[in-house]
A and B are shown apart, each in its own frame.
Chain A
Amino acid sequence: MKSYILAFLLIVGFSACSTGPHKAHNRGVYMLIDTSGTYTKELDKAQQIINYTLSQLQSGDSFVVASIDTGSFSEKDIIAKVSFSDRPSQANQQKRAFQQKVKQYIKGVKSSAYTDITGGILLATEYLNERDTRKKTIMIFSDMKQELKKGYIRDIPLKLEGFEAIALNVTKLRSDNIDPREYMDRIKLWKGKVEKGEGKWEVINDLERLDQIIKE
């Protein structure tokens, strides 16, 4: 009888442990950086956001920074990715290394001719679904104007159930100043796409509100 009880307790204990580490409590953040045209000038702000995000993430969380260029649905566009160690001291080392990697990338970045935002989002969903994190956040540092190269097919419905898409620093283009409806339409278009895919949509242009990004 005792052995049965012991076995039962062990099973319960192990099952409780096995559900643990990466499945139910960690966060996954995927940040897409627009490198098209003149938007590369804004990359300093992107680095600030990355640094802030790094300071907020904890052991067990995942963070990926990828660029948006002509064809973003490719692992080659991933600038840096990391899953933080269980040990806080090691996680801190990883954060330092990550920061350096991003810094080097931003120093030598070359602007691309086209902007494939959808491809980047598709890659992000794929990655975060694979990581199976509790909270999935896709941060899009872009003016949200998609320009696809001829032949690229991106008319694909997004599946963003359980995702939160945050558009950061959506700068107003010169044409937006002439007709603000263009800006509003752009935002509306992406909001519609995300919400159609059952995801949550948010726009944060004021970087003072960075604490809103990685909120619990």
Chain B
Amino acid sequence: MSLPDFMMIFTSSAGLSLLVWLIISVVLLYMARKPAHKAIFSVSKILFYALRLFSSSVLLAEKRLKHRNKEVLLSAGKEAKERIIEREFERIDAFVKKDLSRFPTLQREVMDSVTKLDEDYQKSTEIPPAPPGWTKAIEPIAAIPPSEDSMVAEILKSIKEALDKGQEKALEAYRKSSENRHKYLKNMVPTLRHINKSVDDLDKNVQVLLERSSTVDRHMDEYKEINNKTDRAAQMLSSSSMTQFFIAGFVLAIAIGGAFINFNLISRPMQEMVGGSVYMMGFKVADIAALVIILVEVSMGLFLMESVRITRLFPIIGALDDKIRVRMMITSFVFLFLLASVEAGLAYMRELLSADDAALVAGLLGGVATENVDASARWITTAAQMGMGFILPFALTFIAIPLESFIHSTRTVFGVIAVAFLRIFALGLRFIGNLSRYSGKSLVNIYDLIIFFPLWVESLVSGEKTSKVQNIKLHELKVVQEEVGDAVVKKRATRKTVAKKVVNKKEEKIEEKDNV
């Protein structure tokens, strides 16, 4: 190791020079000890307080952001809940209009059936047949005792026959009336079934209505909680948002895959339209055109979904007059249809180009590749490509739904991430602040370690002085103790404990020195 020339105090010995420099620097450091300590402490304190302040402000910002996130979350949740409740009411309304509007008719039908039943029941009641009037007149004749007179016997016989005939007729009439009554009763069965069915239907409808109303109740409860801005509601909405974010992200990733396939399907034939070697900003114009077509399709899909009011990304479309909205819906659909047709055409063109390329390559490389190709089956791939070209734009339309969820949930997710980041940042700042504070203390200790030798000498010198002074003080203290008495000393024992300990230690040290 060599020292610079200006540091060489002794030209013959670098080590000696270094030692001298070391001593000089140690002495200088010892001399500057107090201001150096102050400077180190002040710097570390400044850093500590500045970082602490910064950390506090970051925490404040985090708190504000958290509050804002909650507000946004609750507002979004409120809006979503309102939509759900609105839909539920619309469903109930539709249900009431569709099914319960038949209620008066049903009631009338039931009433008619009941009346008819009542009538039939009345008709079916059994009325005992009235005994014929002339039987009473015959009764005295019948009471005549049988005699030998053939005339009388003849009369009685004819009367008996007449009676039998009358009974038979009455029985016949009774049977007929019974049959009629049974018929009425039989006719009552379908009416009863009809009434039963109508009542069942009504019961089912009422059950459905009750279920719907309980759903509305549940949503209303949640809505109330959101309105009251409770933590539970915020937590519920936050977790729901996270779920939505991941699900929507997954569906969007699938949709992007579909868009990529779509892009590959039309980018090559696009070269026929806009040229294959024209570039714009480093990208092929054909690729840009293909991408633009896909993006226009997605936009049309968004407008279509907005017009149908499935999504609400553009409030202005939702707020349009119904007539204009329907027109917009039709226009979007027509554009989408035309673009899908264009894509189908391009897909067909792609197939032609591929066939041409394959034929060219086969011709150039010796025609080996074409030998085993069955050209008759090419229509399958052509049809498949055209079908994909036509269907994919319509499938891409449905991107709007996950996109809406994704956009809404992204705000929440990013908010949560930002809060977490701010919290970690604040924690980091506080940690660095504390580190600077304790590192200041450590630096002071290291400083003292470097100048340990002068400090040791100082402690030796000052130790002797202080021991003498302390001996005198101790002596004075003993005298005072003796004078004032033990009681006073005991009273103040707690206060003097530390001082006593120090004094005891000093005494021990002095004794050790004396011994040495």
Chain A positions within 8 Å of B, measured between CB atoms, are: 13, 16-17, 19-22, 24-26, 51-52, 54-55, 58-61, 84, 86-89, 91-92, 95-96, 99
CA distance A96 to B356 in the complex (A): 11
Q: List 26 A-B contacts (CB under 8 A).
A: A20-B279, A21-B278, A24-B282, A25-B277, A51-B365, A52-B364, A52-B365, A59-B271, A59-B276, A60-B275, A60-B276, A61-B277, A86-B275, A87-B272, A87-B275, A88-B272, A88-B356, A88-B357, A89-B356, A91-B276, A92-B356, A92-B357, A92-B360, A95-B364, A99-B363, A99-B364
Residues of B within 8 A of A60 (CB): 275-277
Ranked nearest first, the 4 interchain pairs of A and B with the lowest CB-CB distance are A60-B277, A86-B275, A59-B276, A51-B364
Chain B positions within 8 Å of A, measured between CB atoms, are: 268, 271-272, 275-282, 285, 352-353, 356-357, 360-361, 363-365
A88-B353, A92-B356 as given contacts; A21 in contact with B364, CB under 8 Å: no
CA distance A84 to B360 in the complex (A): 14
- Closest chain-A Cβ to B290's Cβ sits at a distance in Å of 14
Residues of A within 8 A of B365 (CB): 51-52, 55
Residues of A within 8 A of B275 (CB): 21, 59-60, 86-87
Not counting A21-B279, A25-B277, A95-B360, a sample of 20 additional A-B residue pairs whose C-beta atoms are within 8 angstroms of each other reads A16-B281, A17-B280, A19-B279, A21-B275, A24-B279, A26-B277, A55-B360, A55-B364, A55-B365, A58-B277, A59-B276, A86-B275, A88-B353, A88-B356, A89-B353, A89-B356, A91-B276, A96-B360, A96-B363, A99-B363
- Closest chain-A Cβ to B67's Cβ sits at a distance in Å of 40
- Closest chain-B Cβ to A99's Cβ sits at a distance in Å of 6
- Closest chain-B Cβ to A101's Cβ sits at a distance in Å of 13
- Closest chain-A Cβ to B286's Cβ sits at a distance in Å of 9
CA distance A96 to B279 in the complex (A): 26
- Cβ 8 A contact of A88, one of B271, B281, B285, B361: B271
Residues of B within 8 A of A21 (CB): 275, 277-279
- Closest chain-A Cβ to B275's Cβ sits at a distance in Å of 3
Interface centre among B272, B277, B352, B361 (most CB of A within 10 A): B277
Report yes or no: A20 in contact with B285, Cβ–Cβ below 8 A. yes
Residues of B within 8 A of A26 (CB): 277
- Closest A residue to B352 by beta carbon equals A89
CA distance A84 to B357 in the complex (A): 14
CA distance A13 to B278 in the complex (A): 13
Residues of A within 8 A of B357 (CB): 88, 92
CA distance A42 to B193 in the complex (A): 101
Interface centre among A13, A84, A86 (most CB of B within 10 A): A86
A20-B285, A59-B271, A92-B357 as given contacts; A86 in contact with B278, CB under 8 Å: yes
Residues of A within 8 A of B280 (CB): 13, 16-17, 20
Report yes or no: B277 in contact with A86, Cβ–Cβ below 8 A. yes
- Closest B residue to A22 by beta carbon equals B277
- Closest chain-B Cβ to A118's Cβ sits at a distance in Å of 31
- Closest A residue to B362 by beta carbon equals A55
Report yes or no: B363 in contact with A59, Cβ–Cβ below 8 A. no
- Closest A residue to B357 by beta carbon equals A92
Residues of A within 8 A of B282 (CB): 24
Residues of A within 8 A of B278 (CB): 17, 20-21, 86
CA distance A13 to B272 in the complex (A): 21
CA distance A17 to B288 in the complex (A): 12
- Closest chain-B Cβ to A24's Cβ sits at a distance in Å of 7
Residues of B within 8 A of A89 (CB): 272, 352-353, 356
Residues of B within 8 A of A58 (CB): 276-277
CA distance A51 to B360 in the complex (A): 10
CA distance A21 to B282 in the complex (A): 10
Interface centre among A17, A22, A87 (most CB of B within 10 A): A87
- Closest A residue to B360 by beta carbon equals A92
- Closest B residue to A84 by beta carbon equals B277
- Closest chain-B Cβ to A203's Cβ sits at a distance in Å of 23
Residues of B within 8 A of A13 (CB): 280
CA distance A60 to B364 in the complex (A): 19
- Closest chain-A Cβ to B353's Cβ sits at a distance in Å of 6
Interface centre among B278, B279, B280 (most CB of A within 10 A): B279
Residues of B within 8 A of A24 (CB): 279, 282
Residues of A within 8 A of B363 (CB): 96, 99
Residues of A within 8 A of B360 (CB): 55, 92, 95-96
CA distance A54 to B268 in the complex (A): 18
- Closest chain-A Cβ to B274's Cβ sits at a distance in Å of 8
- Cβ 8 A contact of B361, one of A17, A55, A84: A55
CA distance A89 to B359 in the complex (A): 12
Report yes or no: A86 in contact with B271, Cβ–Cβ below 8 A. yes
- Closest chain-A Cβ to B279's Cβ sits at a distance in Å of 4
CA distance A74 to B176 in the complex (A): 130
Residues of B within 8 A of A96 (CB): 360, 363
CA distance A188 to B277 in the complex (A): 38
Report yes or no: A87 in contact with B279, Cβ–Cβ below 8 A. no
- Closest chain-A Cβ to B417's Cβ sits at a distance in Å of 36
Residues of A within 8 A of B272 (CB): 87-89
Report yes or no: B276 in contact with A87, Cβ–Cβ below 8 A. yes
CA distance A86 to B273 in the complex (A): 9
Residues of B within 8 A of A59 (CB): 271, 275-277
- Closest B residue to A98 by beta carbon equals B364
Residues of B within 8 A of A88 (CB): 268, 271-272, 276, 353, 356-357
Residues of B within 8 A of A16 (CB): 280-281
Residues of A within 8 A of B353 (CB): 88-89
- Closest chain-A Cβ to B368's Cβ sits at a distance in Å of 12
CA distance A91 to B277 in the complex (A): 11
Residues of A within 8 A of B356 (CB): 88-89, 92
Residues of B within 8 A of A54 (CB): 364
Interface centre among A13, A55, A88, A91 (most CB of B within 10 A): A88
- Closest chain-B Cβ to A208's Cβ sits at a distance in Å of 13
CA distance A122 to B277 in the complex (A): 27
- Closest chain-A Cβ to B354's Cβ sits at a distance in Å of 10
- Closest B residue to A91 by beta carbon equals B276
CA distance A13 to B280 in the complex (A): 8
Residues of A within 8 A of B352 (CB): 89
- Closest chain-B Cβ to A83's Cβ sits at a distance in Å of 10
CA distance A52 to B362 in the complex (A): 11
CA distance A191 to B275 in the complex (A): 38
CA distance A51 to B369 in the complex (A): 15
CA distance A84 to B279 in the complex (A): 15
CA distance A60 to B360 in the complex (A): 17
CA distance A51 to B277 in the complex (A): 21
- Closest B residue to A23 by beta carbon equals B279
